[in-house]
Chain A
Amino acid sequence: MALLEVRDLHVHYGAVHALQGISLDVEEGQIVTLIGSNGAGKSTTLRAISGLVRPSSGSIKFAGRHLEGVKAHEIVRMGIAQSPEGRGVFANLTVDDNLEIGAYTRTDRAGVLSDKERVLDLFPRLRERLRQLSGTLSGGEQQMLAIARALLARPKLLLLDEPSLGLAPQIVQTIFAIIRDINKQGTTILLIEQNAHMALGAAHMGYVIEVGQIVLHDEARVLAASDEVRKAYLGVG
């Protein structure tokens, strides 16, 4: 049984049928990526899983428990944390405060402190800027902070919404290397990306979404080699 099982998920925004029956599995220990173009429904899928939008039908099961109708803040306690679209760092608070808020659901103070050390080892740039207001960080540093903050909830499943968005290629490389490190340390990851090349390079499994439907899914390296994906998303051929 997969850690996360999404079955026939539908989401409506008023009259707009944004998700039209999405099904996907995220196996424990893997990086699974959901790729697709703007407006395909990637972020909506993630928002449905994390409880920020309510699905109109379908099921989402995490570690055997149903998530539909569970409030977003309770889902965090169940073990799913996210780096939201557009990063959503708390701009007027310091980097350290942001990290502390990431650990809001936890009461094991010693565990939080050691996790903070671990996360700051992953992102040394943040250690230098702990007391800086996070709004003054560069885009790449804010993305790092958003991921670091989510990790402090000590999630079983980490949701990443377009971590490459608006960042210089070199920073994207750095961030993806860290994402692989996080996964090697034992966190399962669902990665939403427009940058199919980077995402398929990092992931074990890949899903391709178009206008609210999954059109392809396979092992990431198979997808990266397939003609369809190469034409549509990798700009080859």
Chain B
Amino acid sequence: MSLASYGKPASPAVVAVDALGPFAGVAVLVLLMHFVIGPAVGPYYAKILVDIAISIVLAVSLNVVNGFTGQFSIGHAAFMAVGGYTAAAITYFGTVKIWGGLPLVHADPQGWGLFVVGTVAGALVAGLFGLFVGLPSLRLRGDYLALVTLGFGEIVRVLLMQTGSIPDPKVIAEAPLYTLPLKLGGSLGFGGVPTYTNLFWAWLWAGLTLVIVYRLKASTHGRAFLSVREDEIAAEAMGIPTTSVKVRAFVLSAALAGIAGALFAHELGTTLNPKELGFQKSFEVVIMVVLGGMGSLSGAVLAAAVLTVLPEVLREFSEYRMIVYALILILVMLVRPQGLFGIHEVWELPVVRRLLGGRGPK
């Protein structure tokens, strides 16, 4: 609770604005993206904006584990893959079963409905995987979690490579449902997934992710997450069940990564391929979180945006661009080893507080 309302109950109107305001903000952002910015910038920049939204979901969700609870997970892409493949299986096979023929985008409420069902299912299945991975490994110290998540990422990637090729629509229409999850395209990737992801859906989920995680940070549960990062023994001594708190953070983080996977799977111009969702992808997300500052949501958003745009900007340098990319990262880490905003939000930094009207620290 904020100090402004400390000690006295807030009026219902204030409570309502506090509760609904952020969601209204998300609605405005999404409509603006979809109806104004998207048409204005054209398809190339629109795709970059969608990529940024997906990166934001990934970075903000990994921040829940690596930033809030201070654990170190480096297998985020695996949860993204689980969510992406789950969602793709639902929309692809679902489209064939419902409408018949090759899966295409069904630009009607039923089509969008199927996509939403797929995305939510992707989040749930990814969250379930998070529970299976987190439950045993989060009892151990942080570095074990890093190893376990790394191994888990590889297992998911290899298992997806071993799946069979995607059957013809005619075969799918006949096949019993339980046989389909074994036919996800193997090493060639899950081709032909209908391209539902656009600015609207990408920014809707990015906005919701931000509101959820920001709200969490300010809540009793979120404070419990942070206390585990600060001092695990003291947290336990305050009555916080630290293992269960870590598992909860891990499950939430995995579920949100699943949403990012679902968006990625249905994006135009990307292929859902095990190679795309391996160790390198996991590391990109870790870099976003470290660069933005572990625990800082605004830092994660900024780093996600910058690190998504940077490779595009550096495209002219072609083969040198990864070197430039790496150099920029090294430079930032030399100047600000704690990340851009450290563990704070941008508006909590002394410099910014002074700019915002002298509400600097006393």
A interface residues with partner B (beta carbon < 8 Å): 50, 52, 71-73, 76-77, 81-82, 84, 88-93, 96-97, 100-102, 104-105, 113, 117, 130-132, 149-150, 153
With both chains docked as a complex, state the minimum distance between the C-beta of B116 and any C-beta of chain A, in angstroms.
34
Q: CB within 8 A of B343: which of A71, A73, A92, A113?
A: A92
22 pairs from A and B in contact (CB 8 Å cutoff)? A52-B233, A52-B237, A73-B239, A73-B240, A76-B238, A81-B238, A82-B237, A88-B237, A89-B234, A90-B226, A92-B343, A96-B6, A100-B1, A101-B227, A104-B240, A113-B7, A117-B7, A130-B3, A130-B6, A131-B3, A132-B362, A149-B238
Across the interface, do B238 and A101 meet the contact criterion of CB distance under 8 Å? yes
Other than A73-B242, A90-B230, give 16 A-B pairs with Cβ distance below 8 A.
A52-B237, A73-B239, A88-B234, A88-B237, A89-B234, A90-B234, A92-B343, A93-B230, A97-B226, A100-B223, A101-B224, A101-B235, A102-B238, A104-B220, A150-B238, A153-B238
Nearest B residue to A117 via CB reads: B7
**Cβ-based interface call for B231 (8 A):** yes
Scoring B residues 1 to 21 as 1 if CB is less than 8 Å from chain A, else 0, what string do you get?
A: 101001100000000000000
Contacts A92-B343, A104-B220; is A71 near B241 (CB within 8 Å)? yes
Query: In the bound complex, how far is the Cα of B240 from the Cα of A97, in angstroms?
Result: 14
Give the 8 A-B residue pairs with the shortest CB-CB distance, closest first.
A76-B239, A88-B234, A90-B230, A105-B239, A72-B236, A73-B241, A73-B239, A101-B227
Nearest A residue to B362 via CB reads: A132
Across the interface, do B236 and A101 meet the contact criterion of CB distance under 8 Å? no
With both chains docked as a complex, state the minimum distance between the C-beta of B110 and any C-beta of chain A, in angstroms.
43
Query: In the bound complex, how far is the Cα of B240 from the Cα of A131, in angstroms?
Result: 22
With both chains docked as a complex, state the minimum distance between the C-beta of B241 and any C-beta of chain A, in angstroms.
5
With both chains docked as a complex, state the minimum distance between the C-beta of B66 and any C-beta of chain A, in angstroms.
15
Task: Determine the chain A residues whose CB is within 8 A of the CB of B242 once the complex forms.
Answer: 73
Query: In the bound complex, how far is the Cα of B220 from the Cα of A96, in angstroms?
Result: 12
Task: Determine the chain A residues whose CB is within 8 A of the CB of B3 once the complex forms.
Answer: 96, 130-131
Task: Determine the chain B residues whose CB is within 8 A of the CB of A50 once the complex forms.
Answer: 237
With both chains docked as a complex, state the minimum distance between the C-beta of B324 and any C-beta of chain A, in angstroms.
33
Nearest B residue to A110 via CB reads: B9
Across the interface, do B234 and A93 meet the contact criterion of CB distance under 8 Å? no
Query: In the bound complex, how far is the Cα of B237 from the Cα of A105, in angstroms?
Result: 11
**Cβ-based interface call for B357 (8 A):** no
Across the interface, do B343 and A77 meet the contact criterion of CB distance under 8 Å? no
Task: Determine the chain B residues whose CB is within 8 A of the CB of A89 once the complex forms.
Answer: 231, 234
**Cβ-based interface call for B361 (8 A):** yes
Across the interface, do A84 and B226 meet the contact criterion of CB distance under 8 Å? no
Task: Determine the chain A residues whose CB is within 8 A of the CB of B227 once the complex forms.
Answer: 90, 93, 101
- Counting chain A CB atoms within 10 Å of each CB, the highest count among B6, B220, B233, B238 belongs to B238
With both chains docked as a complex, state the minimum distance between the C-beta of A161 and any C-beta of chain B, in angstroms.
10
Across the interface, do A153 and B239 meet the contact criterion of CB distance under 8 Å? yes
Query: In the bound complex, how far is the Cα of B236 from the Cα of A77, in angstroms?
Result: 11
Scoring B residues 236 to 252 as 1 if CB is less than 8 Å from chain A, else 0, what string do you get?
A: 11111110000000000
Across the interface, do B237 and A84 meet the contact criterion of CB distance under 8 Å? yes
With both chains docked as a complex, state the minimum distance between the C-beta of A174 and any C-beta of chain B, in angstroms.
22
Nearest B residue to A134 via CB reads: B230
Task: Determine the chain A residues whose CB is within 8 A of the CB of B234 once the complex forms.
Answer: 84, 88-90
Query: In the bound complex, how far is the Cα of B237 from the Cα of A150, in angstroms?
Result: 9
Task: Determine the chain A residues whose CB is within 8 A of the CB of B231 once the complex forms.
Answer: 88-90
Contacts A97-B223, A132-B361; is A73 near B236 (CB within 8 Å)? yes
Scoring B residues 319 to 362 as 1 if CB is less than 8 Å from chain A, else 0, what string do you get?
A: 00000000000000000000000010000000000000000011
Chain B contacts with A in 236-282, Cβ cutoff 8 A: 236-242
Query: In the bound complex, how far is the Cα of B130 from the Cα of A24, in angstroms?
Result: 45
Contacts A73-B239, A100-B220, A104-B240; is A88 near B226 (CB within 8 Å)? no
Across the interface, do A88 and B233 meet the contact criterion of CB distance under 8 Å? yes
Query: In the bound complex, how far is the Cα of B217 from the Cα of A100, in angstroms?
Result: 13
Query: In the bound complex, how far is the Cα of B236 from the Cα of A154, in angstroms?
Result: 16
Task: Determine the chain A residues whose CB is within 8 A of the CB of B238 once the complex forms.
Answer: 73, 76, 81, 101-102, 104-105, 149-150, 153
With both chains docked as a complex, state the minimum distance between the C-beta of A182 and any C-beta of chain B, in angstroms.
17
Q: CB within 8 A of A93: which of B1, B226, B236, B240?
A: B226
Task: Determine the chain B residues whose CB is within 8 A of the CB of A97 once the complex forms.
Answer: 223, 226
Query: In the bound complex, how far is the Cα of B35 from the Cα of A84, in angstroms?
Result: 56
